[in-house]
Structure 1
Amino acid sequence: MFANFYHLSGLPFLLTPDTRFFYGSSGHSRAISHLVYGLSQQEGFIVITGEVGSGKTTLVEQLWAQLDRKTYVIARVVTTQVSGDDLLRLVMANFGLGDTPGTDKSTLLRRFEHMVRDQRKQGRRCLLVIDEVQNLSVPALEELRMLSNLTVDGKASLQTILLGQPQFRPIMASPDLDQLRQRVLASFHLGPLTEAETRHYIEHRMRTVDWQGDPAFEESAFVAIHQHSGGIPRRINTLCSRVLLLGALEESHTITAAMVDTTAEELNRDLGAELTPGRPHAGANVANGYHPNDRSRGDDSLDELTRRVETLERHAFRQDQAFRRVLDLLEANATGRS
C-alpha cells in the first residue's frame, strides 16, 4: 500500500533475502572476503557468526549469485536439533541423493563418496552450507568433520560453510571439537551496522525500488532508526516497513524521528513489551516496598495508570484513523482499476 502512495516500484524492506538489496557494509564486505578466501583453499570449514537478522543468509545468497554453477554443486541445510545420522541423511538429501529407510551408515557414506567423485570428474566441487549451526550437537558436528575427511584423488571432497549465532563460538571452543576447529580456514563475526551505515542501508534499499526522495527522511529519523534497531538489518527492515506504512496512512511525505519512535513503541507493544521500557509496571510497586499508606508512591501509581490510559486512548484513536485511511486507499485503488 505505501509503495503506491510513494510511487515505489516494489517493497524495499521485505524480510526475505534478495540479492538485489544486498548492501556491502564494511562488515559484510569483510565477511565476503573471508568466504572468498576460504573457498580458494578448496578444503576445510568457513565459519560466519552474527546476531539473528544480521544478514548471514543474505551474505550467502550474495555469494551464491557470484559463484559459477558449473564449478560448484551447492547444498544447504537449515538445522534444528538433529542427531549425527539424521544430519548425514539431510546432507545427502540436499545434494539430491535418495535415501532408502533402514540404509546403514556405511552404505550412505559410500553413496556420498561416489557422488563427490562423479562431480569431481565433471570439474565441479561440492559446497555444503549449514545454517543455524549452533543448534547442532557435538556428535553432529563431528559427523561434519568426518565428511570433510573424505578425499578424492588426494583432494578434499567437500567444503563446508557454517552459519550460526554468536553462541556457536563458545561451542567451537570446546575441547571435544578440537579436530574440527583445526580445520577452520576462515572465521568472521558479522556485527551490526554503524549509524552511518544504517542510513546508507536504508537509502540503498529505497533507491533499489526507484525512490525519488518521497518520502524524505529527516536526519533525526535515521538516528532514531539506528537506536531502535541496534543496527541489525532485519530489525531495520521491520521498523522501516511499519514507519513507511504509518507515513502513507497519515499522508506524510516526510519521515520524522517522532514517527519512528511511535512506530517502535507500537512494535514493542505488539511483542508484549512494556509501553515505556525501563519504567516499572504497576504491579511492581508492592514488590518494591509499596504500602497503601505511602501517599507519594500511591500518587506515582495513579500517575502511571493515568499515563497508560492516555496512551491507550491515543493508540485507539490512531488505529481508527489508520483504518479509515486504509478503506480510502482501497477504494481509490479499486476505482483506478475499474
Structure 2
Amino acid sequence: MYDEFYGLTGRPFQLTPDPRFYFESGTHRKALSYLGYGLAQGEGFIVITGEVGAGKSTLAAHLMATVDRQRLTAAQIVTSALDGEELIHVSARAFGLEVAGHDKATALAQIEAFLHHEAREGRRCLLVVDESQNLSVEALEELRMLSNFQLGAHPLLQILLLGQPEFRTLLQTSAELEQLRQRVIASHHLDAMEPSEVGPYIEHRLACVGWQGNPAFDARVYADLAKATDGVPRRINQIVNRLLLMAAIEQRQNIDAGLLQAVMTDLAGDGGLNAKSAVTPVPASQAPVVEMASVQQFAAQPVAAPAAFDESAWRAALAERDEQIAELQQAIIELADMRPAVVAEPVADPAILAQLEEANRRIAALEARDGDEEVIAALVDANRRIVALETRTAEQEQAIRHTLTMLIEWIETEDYQRAAA
C-alpha cells in the first residue's frame, strides 16, 4: 500500500536479501576488500560472520550479482542441519548437476568432473555457503575435502562461508576443525552500521525505488532508529517498513519521532520487535501527579460552584468506540474473499473531545476558588478521572492503529499470494 501512496516503484524494506538495495557501509566495504583479496588468491576458505540481520546474505547476493561470469562460476547454498553426505548432494545441485540416487561417491565424481571442465574453460569456481552455523563438524569436513580438488597444482574450488558469531567461535576453538582453520585465507566480522550511516542507508534504499523526498524524515527519526536498532540493517528494515505503512494509513507527508515511537510500541506488542526503545521512559518518581498543595496554590477570588463533571456521557462515548473497534477487528476475520476499497484514517472522537474541553473549563473555574476544601477535593477527583479517561482514549487510538495495520498487511499478503499464483 505505502509504495502506491508515496509513488514508489517497489518496497525498499522487505526482509528478503535483494542486491539492488546493497548499501556499502564502512563494515561492508571492509568485507568486500577481504573478499576481493581472498578471491584473488584463488584457493582456500573465506569466512564472513555477523549478527543476525547484519547483512551477510545481502552481501552474498551483491557478490553473486556482480561476479564476472566469464571468469568465475559461483553457486550458493543456504544450509540447514545437513550431514556430510547431504551437503555434497546439495552442493552438486547448486552447480546445476543432476546426481542420480544418493550415492556420495557418484556425487563427488560429478562435482570433480564439473570443476575440471570449468578450469579447462578458463573459469574458477566459488561455492557460497550461507548460514554455516547450522553445519555439523562432519559437514564442514566434507567441504574441506571438496576444496582438495586440483588440476595439477591449481585448486579448482574456493568456498565462502557466511555465518553467525557462534560459527566463528566454533571455527576458532574446535580441535576437529584445525585443518579447515589452516585453510582460511581471509575472514571478517560484519559489525553494525555507525549511527551516522543509518540515515544514508534509509535514503539509499528509498532512492532505489524512486523516492524524491516524500515522505520526509525528521533528523531525530534517524538518531532514534540508530539507538533502537543498534545499527543492524534487518531491524532497521523491519521498523521502517511498518513506519511507512503507518504513515501512509495516516496520509502523512512527514515522519517524526512520535510516529516512530508509536510504531515501535505496536511492534513490541506484536512480539515482533527485537530492539530497544528509542525514547527514554520517564521514571515513575518523575511522573506528574496531582497534589492537594499544588491545587491550593492556584487559589483566587471565589466563584460560584460549577455543575458536577458529567462523566457518564464520556464513558458512553468510550463504550461506543470499543464496539466500533470490535466490529473492525471482526471485519478482518470475515474478509476471506473481500477487499476494502478505502481504509479510513483514525480520527479523534468529537464527543470525547467536547467532554475534555468542558472538563478543562470546569477545572479552570474550580482552580479560581479560594480555600474551599470541598471544591479542591472535587478538582483532585476530576483530574484523576480525566487522567484515567485520557489513558483509555490513548489505548483505543493504539488499538485502532494496530487493527488498521493488520488489515493493510492482510490485504497486501493476499495481493502477493494472488500475484504469485
| Smaller-chain TM-score bracket | 0.7 to 0.9
Paired amino acid for 2:117: D
- 2:127 match: secondary structure: strand
For the pair 1:201 / 2:201, whether they are aligned, the reply is yes
CA contact under 8 A between 2:20 and 2:208: conserved in structure 1?
yes
Partner SS, residue 12 of structure 1: coil
Equivalence for 1:136: 135
Shift of 1:87: 0.7
SS at match of 1:48: strand
Match of 1:291 in 2: none
Contact 1:228 1:264 in 2 (8 A): no
Note the 1:266-285 alignment, pairs <5 A. Answer: 266-271=266-271
For 1:317 and 1:75, how far apart are their aligned partners in 2? 47
> Which position in structure 2 is the counterpart of 1:124?
123
Q: How does 1:256-267 map to 2 (within 5 A)?
A: 256-267=256-267
The one of the two structures with greater contact order (alpha-carbon pairs below 8 A, sep at least 6) is 1
Q: Could you tell me which amino acid in structure 2 is paired with residue 53 of structure 1?
A: G
Partner AA of 2:221 in structure 1: A
- Corresponding position of 1:333: none
Matched with 1:64 is 64
For normalisation by structure 2, the TM-score amounts to 0.66
Structure 1 counterpart of 2:396: 313
Contact 2:224 2:257 in 1 (8 A): yes
Partner of 1:112: 111
Summarize the Cα distance change of 1:78–1:319 in structure 2 as closer, same or farther, 3 Å threshold: closer
Equivalent residue runs for 1:158-169 within 5 Å: 158-169=157-168
TM-score, length-normalised on structure 1? 0.82
**1:166 counterpart letter in structure 2:** P
Which residue matches 1:101?
101
1:224 lines up with 2:224 in the alignment = yes
Alpha-carbon distance, 1:10 to partner: 2.3
Q: CA-to-partner distance for each residue in 1:179-213, whole Å, 9 max, x for gaps? A: 10000011000011111111110111112222221
Question: Displacement, 1:258?
Answer: 1.1
1:235 to 1:114, Cα distance in 2 relative to 1, 3 A:
same
Q: 1:257 to 1:120 in 2, by over 3 A?
A: same
Residue 301 of structure 1 corresponds to none
Whichever residue aligns with residue 171 of structure 1, its letter is L
Q: Distance in 2 between matches of 1:43 and 1:325?
A: 50
Greater shift in the superposed pair: 160-169 or 311-320? 311-320
Give the Cα separation in 2 of the matches to 1:322 and 1:80: 33
Partner amino acid for 1:178? E
Give 1:314's aligned amino acid. Answer: E
Q: Does 1:86 align with 2:86?
A: yes
Q: Distance in 2 between matches of 1:309 and 1:163?
A: 48
Unaligned runs of at least 5 residues, structure 1: 280-304, 327-338
Hey, what's the Cα distance between the residues in 1 that align with 2:241 and 2:272?
Answer: 19
CA contact (8 A) 1:250 1:322 kept: no
Q: What is the distance in 2 between the residues matched to 1:100 and 1:316?
A: 56
Q: Percent identity?
A: 43
The 1:269–1:311 alpha-carbon spacing in structure 2 relative to 1, beyond 3 Å, is: farther
Displacement of 1:5 in angstroms is 2.0
Matches within 5 A, 1:236-275: 236-271=236-271
Letter in 1 for 2:397: R
2:400 counterpart letter in structure 1? F
Judged with a 3 Å threshold, the aligned counterparts in structure 2 of structure 1 residues 307 and 176 are, in CA distance, closer, same or farther, namely farther
* CA distance 1:84–1:257, change in 2 (3 Å): same
Q: Is the 8 A contact 2:89 2:102 kept in 1?
A: no
Aligned residues: 299
Where 1:211 maps in the other structure, the secondary structure is: coil
Tell which deviates more after alignment, 54-63 or 305-314. Answer: 305-314
Distance in 2 separating the partners of 1:325 and 1:42: 49
Q: What is the one-letter code of the residue matched to 1:111?
A: Q
Q: Which residue of 1 aligns with 2:332?
A: none
Query: Could you tell me how far apart the structure 1 residues matched to 2:6 and 2:269 are?
Result: 27
Alpha-carbon deviations, 1:35-82, whole Å to 9, x = none?
111000000000000111111111112122221111122121111111
